[in-house]
Amino acid sequence: LQSNGCHIGPGFAEENVEPEEETVIKTAGDSHLMPPNLPDFHGCSPGWSSAFYGAECFGSEVHSYMKNLGKQKSSGSQNIDAKKVELEQLLMMETKNYRKTIKFYQKLLQKERRNKGPETKSMLPKLRGQLQEMKLSRVYFVPVDFPVFYFSWLCLSEQIMYAEQWGVEFGVLPTVIHNRTTDIVDVASADESSLLVYYNTEKHKCNNQNGIRVLQAGTPLGLMAYLYSRNAFLEGYVQQFLYTFRYFCTQEEFLHFLLDRISSTLSSASLDPSTSLTKICNRSFYILQAWIEDCYSVDFATNAELVCTLREFISSKVAPLNGYGERLLSLLEDASARKSGSAQQCSSMEKREEEGEEDRKTLHSICKKLSEDVSRKNFNWKVSKGMGPIAHYQRERLYTISSVLPKPCYSSFTEEFPVSFAKADEVGPYLLTEYSVQQLCCQLTLLQQELFHKCHPVHFLNSRALGVKDKCVAVQKAVSTEEASLKVCNLFLSKCIQDQYLLQLLRNADSISTWVAAEIVTCHTSKLQVSLLSKFLLIAKSCYEQRNFATAMQILAGLENLIVRQLPAWKILPAKVAEIMEELKAVEVYDSLCLMEGERFKTLPTIPSAHVLAMHVQQLETGGFTMTNGAHKWAKLRNIAKVVSQVHAFQENPYTFTPDFKLQSYLRQRITRFKDADISALAADNCANFHQIPAEKHSRKIQDTLRRMKATFQ
């Protein structure tokens, strides 16, 4: 609820808040459609803030209410609905007051423009400050005063309320672990202690049920059972588990664990929400829903067998007995449609790029073949006056290694083809100098954002198994690839399916770095090289200032290419521009959570460097994951979940630059053209890349060398 349907612009334009009110009323009105024993169908994914802030995501008011909710029996659901209605009414009142304040501000602004009275000028700054406070009070992670508490509740706590009412006490966890069909807890506490390890602390006294009990470690079965404990959603455990469970169990094992609990309790679940079996059954539904909502793209979309198992179970066993089954099926269909839609969009973009590449190659081959036919058969062409005479074909020289793509043919012939096919090759790097630094920065940021918004926090886990290494570490050539592959440690279970989208992000980063280096070394004059070096350095600085660290680091990697660093153009580069290089190197090393510090990340968009973030996660993954008794260290997994949760946090606040599709098309073509280029081969074809030695000095060196050689033979 950071925006809450409202926006404060420079002039505080009038907002449309009626749809928000209608949504609230509709949600409240639909709650009676579900039977009393079924959980209401709300979005129940706790979100990144739950994983990042943990128990501190909510204030003491929320924790105290949840604690009282746990003591209530049959009236728990009714109390939640009553509190929900109270919150909705308060939200409607606050929204109306907010809208009235904006209208009053607009009237005062109009009076000020008409120069009507000094009181208006003195009142406007106060009213603007009041509006800003009202706006900030809607940020859900600032649980300070009464209005903020209720706004935060309605945004995230409403879905937490419904999930937490089905949480069980610690004494009931053995029932969950052993999957018993009886509601009587007769399992000794030793069973729980052998599966879950706790430690005592005074820091979490106000946030835990018993005041000092904090989870430290657990076996896979114990960690899965802890999902059913009271306050597991509230304290962020569920979201942290969904990010990190692949370290100790596979997707199939987790799914079978949930389905087994549903199977054993579904038929016995009664209308009384206070029974343990009912709570276990409904909590299983909420955990399953949260898993689908948050991790469908990384767990289900890549595993058709897992989806078939879940869909078959819901259709055959859940849907006939429980209305929640149909809604889960609908959720699966919606998630599948969204994933397929994004996949089709991505494939269509790749197809357009491939078609453009083929069209350019076809265009060149057609021109070459046509020209060969002309020179061989000596046809007498009759050309219209508008096209002008066609020059006699001159035999082309052989292609060198630097010929990444076929060069463009006659301009008169290519005018009939789309401009985008020929323009990128004809214009070359000169078009980069025509656009401003801000224009190039914005469009490169939008291109990077398009890729970043497709990634998931789970993509950055276990990256060492995918071959992702620190670029500063030199790989010994003596070590064979087979030996290197044996040394790679897969931290996930062997049967756990891992999406490799991170490699696509890193390949794109390498392509941009290679493109930057190639554009510079292909400049035929030192003056143009200096211009491009300055342009790329300023673009990288602008990206860094706008918190697009990904593109900034990609440009830095291109400029740090060994061939590029040896260019003579660096010596004549302005000193102020050259200093940017050192600034960017300092940015390359930063703390894993520094981007989440302060208030900037809440208001400014951010794109982190994929490689740097993967390295931070690898540092957290270093060391053992298990204790001496075989229990997995939950504190270690919780820290990893906190770091990767930044991905979803940054994705919630996108850049709003106006896209320039013409410039983006040009940039895509140039990046595609040079993505696999050999920079040393490109540099070898250009004399501007070499230090020029004066003729007299060069001849003197030759004479000195000959004199020394002659002396050795005497």
Segment of 17-21, 30-34, 282-286 carrying the highest mean pLDDT: 282-286
Please state whether 117 falls in left (phi above 0), alpha (psi between -120 and 50) or beta: left
Res 695 pLDDT > 90: no
Evaluate if residue 652 carries a pLDDT over 80.
Answer: yes
Distances (CA, A) of 593 to 50, 470, 523, 527: 16, 19, 40, 41
Task: Give the mean pLDDT of 579-597.
Answer: 82
Residue 60 maps to a domain = no
More confident residue, 117 or 47: 47
Q: Per mean pLDDT, which range of 1-15, 76-90, 106-120, 420-434 is the poorest?
A: 1-15
Shared domain for 515 and 631, answered yes or no, is: yes
Same domain, 334 and 445: no
Residues 203 and 334 in one domain: yes
Q: What is the greatest pairwise CA distance in the chain?
A: 110
Query: What's the mean pLDDT in 255-270?
Result: 88
Calculate mean pLDDT across residues 4-24: 38
| Those residues with Cβ within 8 angstroms of residue 79's Cβ, 6 or more apart along the chain or in another chain | 69, 72
Instruction: Check: CB of residue 278 under 8 Å from CB of residue 37.
Output: yes
Structure confidence at residue 74 (pLDDT): 42
Q: Read off the tokens for 259.
A: 């389905």
- 681 with 575, same domain: the answer is yes
Q: Enumerate the β-bridge partners of residue 200.
A: 213
Confidence of residue 223 (pLDDT cuts 50, 70, 90): very high
Q: What is the pLDDT of residue 421?
A: 39
pLDDT (average), residues 464-491: 61
Three-state SS letters, 402-466? CCCCCCCCCHHHHCCCCHHHHHHHHHCCHHHHHCCHHHHHHHHHHHHHHHHCCCCHHHHCCHHHH
564-577 average pLDDT score: 92
Q: Based on the fold, state whether residues 443 and 547 are members of the same structural domain.
A: yes
pLDDT the model gives residue 81? 60
Q: Across residues 181-203, what is the average pLDDT?
A: 60
CB 174 within 8 A of CB 185: yes
Least confident window among 46-50, 63-67, 264-268, 464-468: 63-67
User: What residue ranges in 205-304 does DSSP mark as E strands?
Assistant: 213-218
Query: Which helix (H) or strand (E) is 198 found in, with range?
Result: strand 196-200
Amino acid (1-letter code) at residue 545: E
Task: State the CATH number of the domain containing residue 541.
Answer: 1.10.840.10
Residue 608 pLDDT > 80, yes or no? yes
Q: In what order do the strands lie in the sheet with 213-218?
A: 196-200, 213-218, 632-633
Structural domain includes residue 250: yes
What local confidence, expressed as pLDDT, does residue 4 receive? 37
Domain boundary among 339, 359, 378: 339
Identify the domain boundary among 319, 339, 359: 339
- Name the one residue in this structure whose structure tokens are 């959570």: 593
- Rounded to 5 degrees, φ, ψ at 670 are -65, -40
Instruction: Among 314, 339, 364, give the residue marking a domain's end.
Output: 339
The predicted pLDDT at position 664 comes to 96
Domain assignment present for residue 561? The answer is: yes
Q: Are residues 320 and 449 located together in one domain of the fold?
A: no
- Please indicate, yes or no, whether residues 449 and 572 belong to a single structural domain of this protein: yes
Average pLDDT (589-612) is 81
The pLDDT-based confidence of 328 (bands split at 50, 70, 90) is very high
**DSSP 8-state assignment for residue 571:** G
Per the CB < 8 A criterion, the answer to whether 263 and 315 are in contact is no
Residue with token string 């090289």: 529
Q: How many CB atoms lie within 10 A of CB 160?
A: 22
The domain tally of the chain equals 2
Average pLDDT over residues 177-202: 62
Q: Supply the pLDDT for residue 191.
A: 58
Same domain, 655 and 544: yes
Question: Is there a domain that residue 98 lies in?
Answer: no
Are 335 and 439 contained in the same domain? no
CATH assignment at residue 249? 1.20.870.10
Q: Let me know if residue 707 belongs to a domain.
A: no
* Residue 623: count of CB within 10 angstroms of its CB: 8
Distance CA 408, CA 390 (A): 16
Which range has highest mean pLDDT (31-45, 178-192, 232-246, 418-432)? Answer: 232-246
CB 246 within 8 A of CB 499: no
Collapsing DSSP to helix, strand or coil, 624 comes out as coil
The pLDDT, as a whole number, for residue 222 is 94
- 313 and 439, same structural domain? no
| pLDDT score, position 364 | 47
What is the DSSP secondary structure assignment for residue 249, as one 8-state letter? S
698-710: pLDDT as tens digits:
566 777 787 787 7
- pLDDT above 80: residue 274: no
Residue 350 lies in a domain: no
Do 528 and 675 sit in the same domain of this protein? yes
Confidence band of 343 (pLDDT split at 50, 70, 90): low
Q: Give the domain extent around 241.
A: 167-181+192-339
pTM of the model: 0.72
Given a cut of 70, whether residue 605 has pLDDT beyond it is: yes
**Residues 445 and 565 grouped into a single domain:** yes
Q: According to the model, what pLDDT value does residue 11 have?
A: 40
Name the least confident of 15-19, 104-108, 118-122, 502-506. 15-19
Note the pLDDT tens digit of each residue in 661-671: 999 999 999 99
Mean pLDDT of 493-505: 92
Segment 449-469, tens digit of pLDDT? 999 999 999 999 999 999 999
Rounded to the nearest angstrom, the gap between the alpha carbon of residue 399 and the centroid of all alpha carbons in its chain is 41
State the Cα angle at 275 between 272 and 276, rounded to 5°: 145
Does residue 611 lie in a domain region?
Answer: yes
The answer to whether residue 528 is domain-embedded is yes
